[in-house]
Amino acid sequence: MESGNFEKVSEEQFPKLLERINDLHHRPFFNKESYLETRPVSFYRDYKLLKATSYSGMFPVSMQFFYNSNDIVKVNGDRATFEEMSKKADVHLTKYNVVTYAKIFLGSLMTDGGSFQIVQSLEDVKFTGDITEELLKELPDLIKTAKITKADDGFMLDASMFYDNNLYDAEIFIGKHGELDIKEEKLIRENIPTREIYLR
């Protein structure tokens, strides 16, 4: 699986990126107190993923953007962002980065039940409420490492996925051009506090 951690934007890059992301909004949303971090994404050649967090409100608000030296695209919480990127970027999906792609794609979708979170270990789980010791002991046996299978025109993933505070086993198709479809899901465990709240 592809590895890639976010790194803080340098002082030299900060003002340039701050201006670029604020230009996408009707009024400046981020300021010099905001935190900007980037990570590589090998499935979109020549692009990086930027995460910007504002602390000017009552609670932190984060947004994400795909960008390169000439282009910047806001991740808007729906499939349209990835459809747009598949047209303008050189999509390069392999067995080494397809899980990362699915995690970023599904994790950015905003629905009534929150986002979809693919996890491969207890360390991947982002709890949003109190949990019991019993649950902490139970979860490692319920969460599995994603299994990748080559399919016609893409890949199939057999993965553990959280959605709306529930854990599922999910069968997910990812096409070679970046299209994604959850083909099947099986409920494994209910009422696990993992649902995140997003603002557009």
Confidence bin at 152 (pLDDT 50/70/90): confident
Which pLDDT score, from 0 to 100, does residue 60 have? 87
Over residues 12-32, mean pLDDT: 94
In a domain, 58, yes or no: yes
H or E, element range at 24: none
Over residues 52-75, mean pLDDT: 92
Are 60 and 137 found together in one domain? no
- Domain C-terminal end among 91, 116, 143: 91
Least confident of 98-102, 134-138, 196-200: 196-200
- Domain C-terminal end among 37, 57, 91: 91
Cα angle 179, 183, 186; round to 5? 140
Amino acid identity of residue 180, one-letter, is: L
Which pLDDT score, from 0 to 100, does residue 100 have? 96
- Enumerate the β-bridge partners of residue 67: 48, 72
199 or 187, higher pLDDT: 187
Are 79 and 159 found together in one domain? no
Are 47 and 80 found together in one domain? yes
Amino acid identity of residue 120, one-letter, is: Q
Which pLDDT score, from 0 to 100, does residue 3 have? 55
Nearest CA-CA partner of 157 in 106, 81, 99: 99
Are 16 and 82 found together in one domain? yes
Q: Which domain holds residue 76?
A: 7-91
Are 83 and 123 found together in one domain? no
Which pLDDT score, from 0 to 100, does residue 2 have? 56
In angstroms, rounded to a whole number, what is the distance separating the alpha carbons of residues 108 and 63?
A: 9
Are 85 and 140 found together in one domain? no
In angstroms, rounded to a whole number, what is the distance separating the alpha carbons of residues 25 and 150?
A: 40
- Domain C-terminal end among 45, 65, 91: 91
CB 164 within 8 A of CB 87: no
Q: For residue 9, what is the DSSP state?
A: P
Which pLDDT score, from 0 to 100, does residue 4 have? 66
In a domain, 199, yes or no: no
Amino acid identity of residue 160, one-letter, is: S
Over residues 108-118, mean pLDDT: 91
Over residues 192-199, mean pLDDT: 75
